[in-house]
Amino acid sequence: MHALEATPAAGSAPAPPGPGPRPAAGRDRYLDLLRALALVRVVTYHAFGWAWLTLLFPSLGIMFALAGSLMAQSLARPAAAVLKSRLRRLLVPFWVFAAVALSAMYLHGWRPHSWLRAAFWILPLGDPPSTAWAEQMTAPLWYIRTYLWLVLLSPVLLRAFRRVPLLCLGACLGLAALAQYNVLPLAEPALSAAVDLTVFTACWLLGFAHRDGRLDAVRARTVLATAAVCVAAGGAFAYTHPTEEGYDLNDIPLAQALWSLGFVLVLLRFRPRRLPRMPFADGVVGVLNARAVTVYLWHEIALIASIPLIDLMWNVPAFKAHLPLDAVWFQYLLTWPLIAVAILLVGWAEDLAARRVPHPWPTGNTVRKDHVDAGHEAAATHAEPAHKRDGPALHRLLR
């Protein structure tokens, strides 16, 4: 893998060796499918609490890897412009969520004890203050905080990864090991942010490698062997460090880092030659991608809202007699229409953040506009001929 390391000429900016960046030829349907599946898995996990779902499909690592790939593509433009665009796309939907969450907590008696921490509701570099009443509603905000930090660090991370990729990946796993054993020299609230960063930065970096074409340059058997080692190590560590809920990777940082890394390696290196066109499924995938931030931010509120709605349904004799109102899977099914309501009510914030004409429901034009934006962001990249992207060894990933 050391062949992935390339020494740039004196005075020149580091650039990926050998394989060139992936061309931005519209939206990648495979990556869109992975993102949609990851979102569905997140909602399913929070509805049922099945620990084994974190092993079946480590959606958080996958989501960070996909975001890292897009970030590397965007950084073909000046970093300041990219950061401004990415922050706007993240923070505008977050501010809409914050306005609702803060209003609800205020009505339930919450008052800020520290205006400095309350500022995290504006710029979530740390966990925004919350209450026990709103714990479920605000619990997923750690992802927003981690995503924000990775976006801010990306210009530096990308330069470092292109210079010494293996060292960067190794450092991430080493820090994840320190986080696992609670030896990071930090106190709360900085500790929680640092732990999440150490766990998922490696996946973000693999997104860089995917966008630069480095993963494609690695022999299939080398990727499979490396992924197998990561998954085996992560699985073994999880097996020997079970949580109260079972083998839940969310509570085992080192196992999460290794398991997610192995999955991401395989999913980004190997892809179907083509995906069949299925209008309804493609439409669902398109909506989930166009409203990904909305779905993530509001799915817990949808789960919460389903409970009083089911309580009301118990008062209707026909519903009580014929619907499985006490089943968790029924609550889960009811959650998705409520998520659709959230998309209708507040999804427009993502259009506003992307400087599109706001629409209550994403249309085909909305998705295509995202494709065009992605193409514009990568206009400065130059893809090399395909025959130059075939490499003999995994080390070319890190050159």
Tens of pLDDT along 202-227? 999 999 999 999 999 999 999 999 99
Instruction: Report how far residue 259's alpha carbon sits from residue 229's, in angstroms, rounded to the nearest whole number.
Output: 9
Q: Please, is 1 exposed, middle or buried when counting C-beta atoms within 10 Å of its C-beta (0-12, 13-18, 19+)?
A: middle
Structure tokens at 24: 């931005």
Structural domain includes residue 8: no
Q: Per the structure, how many domains does the chain have? A: 1
Q: Which has the higher per-residue pLDDT, 184 or 300?
A: 300
pLDDT of 368: 53
Tens-digit pLDDT profile for residues 140-153: 999 999 999 999 99
Asked whether residue 134 is domain-assigned, the answer is yes
- Residue 329 in domain: yes
CA dist 229 and 75 (Å) reads 31
Q: What's the domain range around 216?
A: 35-380
Residues 297-325 have pLDDT tens digits of 999 999 999 999 999 999 999 999 999 99
Residues 241 and 252: their CA atoms lie apart, in Å, by 7
Residue 191 within a domain: yes
Q: Read off the amino acid at residue 345.
A: L
Tell me, rounded to whole angstroms, the distance of Cα 85 from its chain centroid. Answer: 17
Task: Classify residue 363 as left (phi > 0), alpha (psi -120 to 50) or beta.
Answer: beta
Residue 204 · residue 65 · CB < 8 Å = yes
In a domain, 27, yes or no: no
CA-wise closest residue to 89 among 291, 298, 329, 312: 291
Residue 374 has pLDDT above 80, yes or no: no
pLDDT score for 116: 85
Please report whether residue 17 resides in a domain. no
Percent with pLDDT over 90 in the chain: 75
In a domain, 87, yes or no: yes
Q: pLDDT tens-digit profile of 7-58?
A: 333 333 444 444 444 544 467 899 999 999 999 999 999 999 999 999 999 9
Read off the pLDDT of residues 67-90 as tens digits, 9 standing for 90 and up.
Answer: 999 999 999 999 999 999 999 999
Give the DSSP letter string of 330-397: HHHHHHHHHHHHHHHHHTHHHHHHTTS---SS--HHHHHHHHHHHHHHTTT--PPPGGGG--SSGGGG
Q: Is residue 41 part of a domain?
A: yes
Q: What is the pLDDT of residue 6?
A: 41
Report residue 365's pLDDT band, with 50, 70 and 90 as the boundaries: low
Write down the pTM of the prediction: 0.86
The whole-number pLDDT of residue 126 equals 92
